[in-house]
Structure 1
Amino acid sequence: MSNLRLIPRLDIKGPNLIKGIRLEGLRVVGDPQEFALRYYEAGADELIYMDIVASLYGRNNLAAIIKRAADQVFIPITVGGGIRSVDDVREMLRSGADKVAINTAAIARPALISEVSRRFGSQAMVLSIEAKQVALGKWEAYTDNGRERTGFDVVEWAARGVALGAGEVLVTSVDQEGTRKGFDVKLIRAVSEAVTVPVIASGGMGHVDHMVAVAQSGLAAAVSMASVVHYGYIPLEQIRAAAIHAKLPVRKI
């Protein structure tokens, strides 16, 4: 079994690291570079940067932030938000990103997944899915920070995206995001059972038990976290120690 990856997620608006609840009510947290360095030094396995207003402006504005981070942070970086073309992907990778996470543009034109995967390798193509529960055991994929319905069933879309070439799936539960009430374990299980690539669980981490619940039985290959580390509720070192205590396979620092 490969190691469970612990991945702080940095939602960005303009130059600022921000945080909301259910992707709304955004508050400025601070300078993303300071937080990225802190997480790198604390042993984060990867970082996710998400430009959360990119869909409003039609482009991702993170190139400068990513260049700055890549100069001092030597772990894989995933960038998402407003990435709509192979050229956008190339710009992000040249800026220092290792992977791109694509949601809106992939739903609008699924062939983009194959184009990115063929050009840069499936490991660079992360399918990002914002999921809202619509019935018992059913979730719908949303775009534009959980605002726009797509009519796509999350589990079916995840399987289709992987078949098209996505090498990883980032699943954000909009219902749980920012609540610190735990991951949607049923959602992560349903997606994990439908795909053959790693699944990153995002949305809801508030306690180390939440990480254990979503990582046991190999449900999630990685756990993304935001407010719980941004606000210092649980330091990253403590999260890793809890994973080791729970006998989860994590990288030892």
Structure 2
Amino acid sequence: MLRPRIIPCLLVHQGGLVKTQSFKNPKYVGDPINAVKIFNEKEADELMVLDIDASIKGVAPDFGLIAKLAAECRMPLCYGGGVTTADQASRIVDMGVEKVAVSSAAIKTPYLLTEMSAAVGRQSVVAVLDVRKKKGLFSKGYEICTHNATQVIKQDPLAMVKNLQDAGAGEVVINFVDQDGQMQGYDIEYASQIKNALNVPVTFLGGAGSLDHISQLITSIGVVGAAAGSLFVFKGKYRAVLINYPTPEQKIKLCHDALKA
């Protein structure tokens, strides 16, 4: 049976662990492997690692880093960054990574998800969609971004997530660009629309600044993945770097209370 998942999301930039705000101004917060070791100790549900350089530079996945992450990680691991072929996805899964995430490559060529699903199984294929509110005084609705929000795709996000699901995605991750690093809560209204449009598991990322924000997401939408970056690498109003995660008891109570509400 599916249950809510609380997922730290680690961003890798120039080999280091960073945190951004609205996809800008990456701040170095440590070493990715050390962070994985700490999340092992804290018994995280799952871990997502995204290389934010690969698509911008048009380079292949960093298989050396992936091998180190997979060897160290004792929880389900999702890796994304630079994956453009089913063969690359197979190689990553063979290293011990449970899920492979793709974003711009899947948006450009949804059939990639079909090929990946055939190669590694649909449950291991994750489509990531970066979305933000349309800019402009008279603009309404949401738009899709790629390449660290430097490019805009002229397609409706709701239609796109359905296309990605139909193409072979076993899970969809929605990353809210406007909320990234703000720690003011998820965009629950739009998250609900996305959740209702899909039949596969969905994870939301961007905006969580407290466990209450995760509780609000699960209470409002139900069984989803609640991913966060800043919440799990910063502590306090001055954002001191401190890797943290709810205790098993906190996690059980949070999810139980949220679903019961």
Q: TM-score, normalised by structure 2?
A: 0.89
Asked if 2 retains the 8 angstrom alpha-carbon contact of 1:2 and 1:249, the reply is: no
2:57 aligned with 1:57, yes or no? Answer: yes
Task: Choose from 143, 148, 153 the match for 2:146.
Answer: 143
Change (3 A) 1:15 1:155: same
What is the rounded CA distance, in whole Å, between the counterparts of 1:32 and 1:173 in structure 2?
A: 23
SS in structure 2 opposite 1:152? Answer: coil
What is the rounded CA distance, in whole Å, between the counterparts of 2:174 and 2:54 in structure 1?
A: 19
Shift of 1:56: 2.3
| Residues 130-209 of structure 1 mapped to structure 2, 5 A cutoff | 130-134=130-134, 136=140, 138-209=141-212
Percent same amino acid at aligned positions? Answer: 28
Letter in 2 for 1:211: I
What is the rounded CA distance, in whole Å, between the counterparts of 1:249 and 1:73 in structure 2?
A: 28
Runs (5+) with no aligned partner, structure 2 = 237-242
Shift of 1:32: 0.4
Asked if 1 retains the 8 angstrom alpha-carbon contact of 2:101 and 2:126, the reply is: yes
Change (3 A) 1:246 1:95: closer
Shift of 1:220: 5.1
Paired position in structure 2 for 1:2: 2
Change (3 A) 1:245 1:65: same
Letter in 1 for 2:73: V
| Residues 227-242 of structure 1 mapped to structure 2, 5 A cutoff | 227-233=230-236, 235-238=244-247, 241=250
Asked if 2 retains the 8 angstrom alpha-carbon contact of 1:176 and 1:182, the reply is: yes
| Residues 94-113 of structure 1 mapped to structure 2, 5 A cutoff | 94-113=94-113
Letter in 1 for 2:219: Q
Asked if 2 retains the 8 angstrom alpha-carbon contact of 1:66 and 1:96, the reply is: no
Shift of 1:2: 2.1
What is the rounded CA distance, in whole Å, between the counterparts of 2:105 and 2:210 in structure 1?
A: 33
Letter in 1 for 2:213: H
Paired position in structure 1 for 2:239: none
Letter in 1 for 2:244: P
SS in structure 1 opposite 2:132? Answer: strand
Shift of 1:96: 2.6
2:27 aligned with 1:27, yes or no? Answer: yes
Asked if 2 retains the 8 angstrom alpha-carbon contact of 1:23 and 1:174, the reply is: yes
2:256 aligned with 1:247, yes or no? Answer: yes
Runs (5+) with no aligned partner, structure 1 = none
Q: TM-score, normalised by structure 1?
A: 0.91
What is the rounded CA distance, in whole Å, between the counterparts of 1:9 and 1:239 in structure 2?
A: 18
Shift of 1:218: 4.0
Letter in 2 for 1:144: H
Of 139-148 and 61-70, more deviation after overlay is shown by 61-70
Of 211-220 and 9-18, more deviation after overlay is shown by 211-220
SS in structure 2 opposite 1:45? Answer: coil
What is the rounded CA distance, in whole Å, between the counterparts of 1:170 and 1:220 in structure 2?
A: 14
Paired position in structure 2 for 1:42: 42
Letter in 1 for 2:150: R
SS in structure 2 opposite 1:247? Answer: helix
Of 80-89 and 23-32, more deviation after overlay is shown by 80-89
Asked if 1 retains the 8 angstrom alpha-carbon contact of 2:4 and 2:255, the reply is: no
Paired position in structure 2 for 1:15: 15
Change (3 A) 1:7 1:240: farther
Aligned residues: 249
Asked if 2 retains the 8 angstrom alpha-carbon contact of 1:7 and 1:222, the reply is: yes
What does the per-residue CA deviation read over 1:141-189, in whole Å, with 9 as the maximum and x for residues that have no partner? 1110111101121111111111111110000000001111111111211
Letter in 2 for 1:212: S
SS in structure 2 opposite 1:59? Answer: coil
